[in-house]
RNA sequence: GACUUGUUAGCUCAGCUGGUAGAGCACAUCCCUUUUAAGGAUGGGGUCCUGGGUUCGAACCCCAGACAAGUCACCA
């Protein structure tokens, strides 16, 4: 079914046809020998003018100012924008001025991708500009793009701001909003910096299954799918922890993976159903060692992206310079909520939580209660990067019991700007303890905790062979990207954030009137339109308006066709499915 | 999932107390040989998110729904 075109789209399709009629291929196949970028010219032309006597550049046409026989256009390539000067008699040296008068002035539109050959000069007003000697259409654009204008003072006019359209059509967002592109460049700098750091330490980047028969390594609800040939359920991973640990068992001393994980849970400006974590496991290390690594690595990332350790995030300046503050979890609760929970039983804890106004329910164990109190009273106050250490054992079924403190595990999280950015343990490698912890999780699951972990027999078998003492880390790449790019929403650091499908179901569902029309036409495949209307209205209560509307809908859906017969009468034909 | 706000031209947005749908940019035609949010003149362009209802009459009021954003809940 052909979409209805807007006036401007029709104009562009007409232009496309005229271009073809002139013998110009609007989508040429041969390469265009680009040898310079806009950024390169802006940065280097002034001090090396001789190198820009003959250049070749390509980009998207973003604006044109025509003044009779001369004009200025702006093109945008991957590095930015640059002005192009086009003179009629220079790109059309002979008598035939078609290329300038028709093609350039009329048939090219904003959004088209063009190639320019020429030389660089500076205009009277002082703008570095390409003087075009040759102009080639490289791709015709058939849809008008939003025109965002910036004035002398840097004010943006007619900005392309609607978040829904920006996220659904990210390609448009990237074309017209340069700062958007910038955030994604920084995100890649972040992962490059982290990868370099880890490679320099000698750790190996690996890949582990995304489709898993048993999901594990975190507490979350999974996406479930099905493999047809094996005829078995599979889950999209919620974490890759248990697979990376199997590799430590297998004899690798340091492995890491940038992993897309999937969690079937609520969405918010901090949560997308698929997100990226970097998980790292290093043998013969502990969580104290891992804390030092995190500080060093994140400080380096900030330096690599910003050239300094301070990063502006909203109203705060966050400083990643080592060393970061450290609190134990009990210490943080005592510091921020003024309560010592370290000796409390589950019942006392529940009473305390209720007194503090934290919502509690039957499924919450002692660990979850502590976490709720921490989340409510401590986490939002931790703006500068801070390590929280020594979590209760109940909420950390994969972490090793604390070497000294009863009831705790060797675990830390780094909190920054009020949000967790990483989570790490001295990994539990005692297979008997691990089995008991899984069994406790199963109990929690029976109490109704939907996120309790399930038991992974193969993982237990692996660590029964013996996993060396290991430090493990998971670091949220999206959250860290948000901080490093001063983004308020996870959608601003994901190219294509998850959105609800926007298709209208209307397309396939007939209403009663339309059903009545179809039912009638079933016995009379083709009939004259007026006769059909009279016949249907004699048996059913369909107003003229609803009849018209019904016909229109049915035709759009391809259920019926309307055509003129030999006598010039309009006839309806029912199209068989 | 709850609440609040929003959805009008390709884009950004006005639209009063319910009375024929508006602007700027973009687009079209014309003028203009160093402009730059270029300028001047003229013109075309609408499923006012969808479906019901109230009304002589609905972009506007009422009901239901879709989508989005924000806040909360959930997400250790």
> Looking at strand B, which nucleotides approach a protein CB closer than 7 A?
1, 6, 9-13, 24-39, 44-45, 47, 50, 52, 66-76
What does the block give as tokens for A324? Answer: 């970061």
Separation between Cα atoms, residue A287 and residue A282, nearest integer Å: 10
Predicted TM-score (pTM) of the model is 0.85
Residue found under tokens 């046409």: A61
Chain A 134..153 CB hits on strand B (< 7 A): 144-152
Protein residue closest via CA to C1' of B67: A502
ipTM for the predicted complex comes to 0.91
Strands A274-283 and A254-262: antiparallel
A131 contact to strand B (CB, 7 A limit): yes
Provide, in whole angstroms, the distance separating residue A447's CA from nucleotide B74's C1': 18
Query: Residue A254 CA to chain centroid, in angstroms?
Result: 29
pLDDT tens, per residue, chain A with 577 residues = 457 788 899 999 999 999 999 999 999 999 999 999 999 999 999 999 999 999 999 999 999 999 999 999 999 999 999 999 999 999 998 888 999 999 999 999 999 999 999 999 999 999 999 999 999 999 999 999 999 999 888 888 888 989 999 999 999 999 999 989 999 999 999 999 999 999 999 999 999 999 999 998 888 889 999 999 999 999 999 999 999 999 999 999 999 999 999 999 888 899 999 999 999 999 999 999 999 999 999 999 999 999 999 999 988 899 999 999 999 999 999 998 888 888 888 888 888 888 877 777 777 778 888 888 888 889 888 999 999 999 998 888 999 999 999 889 999 999 999 999 999 999 999 999 999 999 988 887 777 777 777 789 999 999 999 999 999 999 999 999 999 999 999 999 999 999 887 654 333 334 455 556 666 666 655 666 666 655 665 555 454 445 555 555 555 444 555 554 555 455 566 654 3
The answer to whether A222 and A238 have CB atoms below 8 angstroms apart is yes
Protein residue closest via CA to C1' of B29: A106
The answer to whether A333 and A374 have CB atoms below 8 angstroms apart is yes
The answer to whether A329 and A374 have CB atoms below 8 angstroms apart is yes
Chain A 413..472 CB hits on strand B (< 7 A): 451
Taking the CA atoms of chain A, what radius of gyration do you get in angstroms? 32
Q: CA of A377: how far to CAs of A102, A130, A373, in Å?
A: 68, 59, 6
A209 contact to strand B (CB, 7 A limit): no
Q: Identify the burial level of A272 via C-beta atoms within 10 angstroms of its C-beta, where 0-12 means exposed, 13-18 middle and 19 or more buried.
A: buried
Chain A 366..405 CB hits on strand B (< 7 A): 367-368, 371-372, 375, 395-397
Provide, in whole angstroms, the distance separating residue A101's CA from nucleotide B30's C1': 13
């Amino acid at each position: 079914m052909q979409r209805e075109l807007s006036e401007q789209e029709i104009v562009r399709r007409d232009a496309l046809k005229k271009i073809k009629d002139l013998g110009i291929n609007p989508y040429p196949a041969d390469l265009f020998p680009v040898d310079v970028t806009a950024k390169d010219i802006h940065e280097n032309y002034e001090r090396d003018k001789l190198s820009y006597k003959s250049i070749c550049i390509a980009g998207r046409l973003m604006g044109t100012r025509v003044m009779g026989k001369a004009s200025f256009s702006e093109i945008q390539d991957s590095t930015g924008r640059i002005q192009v000067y086009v003179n009629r008699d220079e790109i059309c040296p002979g008598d035939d001025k078609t290329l300038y008068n028709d093609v350039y002035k009329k048939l090219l539109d904003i959004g088209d991708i063009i190639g320019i050959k020429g030389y660089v000069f500076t205009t009277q007003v002082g703008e570095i500009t390409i003087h075009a000697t040759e102009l080639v259409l490289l791709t015709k654009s058939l849809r008008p793009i939003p025109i965002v204008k910036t004035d002398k003072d840097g004010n943006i006019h007619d900005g392309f701001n609607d978040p829904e359209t920006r996220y659904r059509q990210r390609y448009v967002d990237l074309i017209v909003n340069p700062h958007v592109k910038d955030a994604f460049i920084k995100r890649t700098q972040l992962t490059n910096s982290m990868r370099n750091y880890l490679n320099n330490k000698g750790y190996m980047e690996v890949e582990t299954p995304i489709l898993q028969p048993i999901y594990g390594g975190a507490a979350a609800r999974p996406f479930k799918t099905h493999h047809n040939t094996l005829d078995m359920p599979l889950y999209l991973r919620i974490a890759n922890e248990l697979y990376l640990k199997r590799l430590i068992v297998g004899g690798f001393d340091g492995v890491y993976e940038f992993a897309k994980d999937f969690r079937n849970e609520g969405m918010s400006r901090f949560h997308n159903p698929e997100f990226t974590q970097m998980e790292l496991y290093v043998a013969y290390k502990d969580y104290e060692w891992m804390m030092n690594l995190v500080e060093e690595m994140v400080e380096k990332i900030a330096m690599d992206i910003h050239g300094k350790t301070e990063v502006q995030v909203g109203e705060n300046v966050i400083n990643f310079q080592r060393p970061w503050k450290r609190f134990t979890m009990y210490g943080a609760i005592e510091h921020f909520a003024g309560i010592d929970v370290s000796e409390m039983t589950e019942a006392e804890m529940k009473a305390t939580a209720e007194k503090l106004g934290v919502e509690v329910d039957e499924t919450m164990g002692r660990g979850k209660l502590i976490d709720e109190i921490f989340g409510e009273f401590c986490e939002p106050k931790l703006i500068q990067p801070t390590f929280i250490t020594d979590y209760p054992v109940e909420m950390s079924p994969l972490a090793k019991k604390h070497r000294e403190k009863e009831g705790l595990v060797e675990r830390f999280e780094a909190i920054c700007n009020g949000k967790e950015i990483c989570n790490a343990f001295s990994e539990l490698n005692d297979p008997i303890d691990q089995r008991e912890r899984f069994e406790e999780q199963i109990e929690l699951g029976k109490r109704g905790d939907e996120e309790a972990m399930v038991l992974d027999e193969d993982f237990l078998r692996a660590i029964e062979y013996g996993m060396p003492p290991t430090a493990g880390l998971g670091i949220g790449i999206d959250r860290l990207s948000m901080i490093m790019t001063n983004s308020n929403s996870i959608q601003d650091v994901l190219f294509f954030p998850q959105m609800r499908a926007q298709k209208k179901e209307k397309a396939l569902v007939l209403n009663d009137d339309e059903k009545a029309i179809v039912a009638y036409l079933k016995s009379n495949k083709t009939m004259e339109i007026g006769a059909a209307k009279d016949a249907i209205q004699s048996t059913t209560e369909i107003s003229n308006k609803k009849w018209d509307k019904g016909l229109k809908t049915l035709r759009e859906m391809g259920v019926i066709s309307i055509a003129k017969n030999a006598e010039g009468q309009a006839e309806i034909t029912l199209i068989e499915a």
